[in-house]
Chain A
Amino acid sequence: MAKAFRASAGIMLAPAVTLIGVFVLLPMLLTIWLSFRDWSTQTPFSEASFVGLGNFQEILGPTSVGRDFKSALLNTAVYTALSVVLILPLSVVFGLMVYQREVAGGTALRTVLFSTYMVPMIAVALVWSKLYSPSEGPLNQLLGLVGIGPQPWLSSPRSALVSIVLLNGWQQVGYFTVLAVAGLTQIPGSLYEAATLDGASGQEQFRFITLPLLRRTLLFSAVIAIINAVQVFEPVALITQGGPVGSTNVLTYHIRRVGIERAQGGLGSAMAVMLMLSLIVCVSALFSLVNRKDGE
Chain B
Amino acid sequence: MSTPARPPSRKRPSGNKALLATAMLLVAVASAFPLAWMVLSSLKTPAETMQVPPVWIPHTPTLDAYEKVAGVINVGRSMWNSLVIASVTTAGILVTSMMAGYAFAKYSFRGRSLLFSLLIATMFLPPIVTLIPLYRMVGSIGLNASLAGIIVPNLANAFGIFLMRQFIAGVPDDLIDAARMDGASELLILFKIVAPSVAPAIAALALFAFVYHWNSYLWPLTVLQGNADAYPIVISLSRLLSYNRGAVNTGLVMAGATLAVLPPLVLFVFLQRFFVDSIVGSAIKG
Q: How far is the CA of A92 from the CA of B41 in the complex (A)?
A: 33
Any A CB within 8 A of the CB of B35 = yes
Residue of A nearest to B19 (CB): A103
**Which residues from B are CB-within-8-Å of A272?**
128-132
Given contacts A20-B157, A135-B52, A202-B10, whether A268 and B31 have CB atoms under 8 Å apart is: no
A51 contacts B by Cβ under 8 Å? no
Contact of B17 among A34, A103, A223 (CB under 8 A): A103
Question: Contact at B52–A136, with CB atoms within 8 Å?
Answer: yes
A242: interface (CB < 8 Å): no
Q: Say how far A161's CB is from chain B's closest CB, in angstroms.
A: 18
A162 interface residue (CB < 8 Å to B): no
Residue of B nearest to A253 (CB): B128
A275–B126 alpha-carbon span in the complex (Å): 9
Instruction: Tell me the smallest distance from the CB of B27 to a CB of chain A, in Å.
Output: 6
- Determine if B37 is an interface residue (Cβ-Cβ < 8 Å): yes
Q: Is A58 interfacial (CB 8 A cutoff)? A: no
Q: Which of A111-139 contact B (CB under 8 A)?
A: 111-116, 118-124, 126-131, 133, 135-138
A123 touches B17 (CB 8 A): no
* B253 → A minimal CB distance (Å): 5
Shortest CB-to-CB span from B269 to chain A, Å, is: 7
Contacts of A220 on B, CB cut-off 8 Å? 283
Q: Please tell me which stretch of A59-67, A175-183, A288-296 contacts chain B, meaning at least 4 of its Cβ atoms lie within 8 angstroms of it.
A: A175-183
User: Per-position contact with A for B237-281: 1 when CB-CB < 8 Å, else 0?
Assistant: 110110000010010011011001100110111001001100110
**B217, A120: Cβ atoms under 8 Å?**
yes
> Contacts A19-B156, A126-B257, A136-B49 hold; do A182 and B6 have CB atoms under 8 A apart?
no
Partner of B234, one of A44, A122, A183: A122
Residues in B neighbouring A268, C-beta threshold 8 A: 132
Interface residues as binary, B18-60 with A (CB distance below 8 Å gives 1, 0 otherwise):
0011011001100110110110010000000111111010000
Is A204's CB within 8 Å of the partner chain B?
no
The reply to whether the CB of A146 lies closer than 8 angstroms to some CB of chain B is no
Chain A contacts for B279, CB-based, 8 A: 175, 178-179, 182
Contact of A141 among B54, B107, B214 (CB under 8 A): B54
A101 & B9 in contact (Cβ 8 Å cutoff): yes
> Could you tell me the distance between the alpha carbons of A167 and B40 in the complex, rounded to whole angstroms?
19
The chain A residue with its CB closest to the CB of B256 is A126
Question: Is B100's CB under 8 angstroms from A12's CB?
Answer: yes
* Interface pair B126/A279, CB less than 8 Å apart: yes
B237 & A265 in contact (Cβ 8 Å cutoff): no
B95 within 8 A of A: yes
Q: Which residue of B lies closest to A94 (CB)?
A: B27
Hey, which chain A residues are within 8 Å of B7, CB to CB? 187-189, 192-193
The 10 closest A-B pairs by CB, nearest first: A189-B7, A30-B133, A27-B130, A19-B156, A16-B100, A12-B103, A23-B153, A120-B215, A123-B257, A259-B132
Binding site for B on A (CB under 8 A): 1-3, 5-6, 8-9, 11-13, 15-17, 19-20, 23-28, 30-31, 34, 41, 44-45, 94, 97, 99-103, 105-106, 108-116, 118-124, 126-131, 133, 135-138, 141, 170, 173-175, 178-179, 181-183, 185-189, 192-193, 196, 202, 217, 220, 223, 227, 230-231, 233-234, 237-238, 251-252, 255-256, 259-260, 265, 268-269, 272, 275-276, 279, 283
25 inter-chain pairs at a CB distance below 8 angstroms, sorted by A residue, are A5-B109, A20-B158, A23-B130, A24-B130, A30-B130, A97-B20, A97-B23, A103-B21, A114-B272, A116-B34, A118-B211, A118-B268, A122-B217, A123-B38, A127-B257, A135-B52, A141-B54, A181-B280, A185-B4, A189-B6, A192-B8, A234-B217, A255-B128, A265-B132, A283-B124
